[in-house]
Amino acid sequence: MKNYCLILLFLSAWGSGYAENSSPTYPSSCQSCPHVRIETTEGTFVLELANKRAPLTVKNFLSLVDNGYFDRTIFHRVIPHFMIQGGGFTPDLKEKKSDYTISNESGNGLSNTYGTIAMARQPDPHTASTQFFINVANNTRLDPRPDNWGYAVFGYVIEGMQVIDKISLLPTGPSGQFKKDAPIVPIIIKKMSRVIYDD
């Protein structure tokens, strides 16, 4: 099974800062940027995607949204004051395998701060595919450094950050192949869809 290594940086990132009750974090500033609505069993939130800063990542994410890949997947790893991760498992913890990866677009000027969405990956920096995470703290240690690739941020939560904060504090434990950090009650992404604005 692919073991996305985001959590390997967890201990170093734990103390990087936590923000509460700051919703929305990033008011929409780009009407021409893609927006995605994510409906979950815990509520709905909206993303604004930075297609100019992370064009390959955004193109991949929107393709998955458009073909329904994320519908009926779950947030399978939840760590309070750190992040929530999804995009790769069904409610019965079966992995949705992908047969491709995308180039790492970290270093694009976007930081892993509270309310941003970034790609999860394996230790090899260019192994992101479908899994993503949303930061619920200022996890700047996940950003690139001269000696290390970072985790590519490609958007912001602009509505419903309180839903993500709520998810991040739900009870977790061991489940299936996960030794810890799996929500006890599955948090299901019911639907992802583009937000279409009237002219």
pLDDT, one tens digit per residue, over 130-176 is 999 999 999 999 999 999 999 999 999 999 999 999 999 999 999 88
CATH of domain 5-194: 2.40.100.10
| Single-letter code of the amino acid located at 85 | Q
Instruction: List the domain boundaries for the chain.
Output: 5-194
Work out the burial of residue 89: count CB atoms within 10 Å of its CB; fewer than 13 is exposed, 13-18 middle, 19 or more buried.
Answer: buried
Q: Where are the beta strands (DSSP E) in 50-187?
A: 73-79, 83-86, 116-119, 132-135, 153-159, 172-175, 178-183
Can you tell me the distance from the alpha carbon of 37 to that of 65, in angstroms, rounded to the nearest whole number?
A: 10
Predicted pLDDT of residue 20? 43
User: Is there a contact between 139 and 31 (Cβ–Cβ < 8 Å)?
Assistant: no
Count of CA atoms in the C-beta half-sphere (13 A) of 23: 15
Predicted pLDDT of residue 197? 79
What pTM did the predictor assign? Answer: 0.88
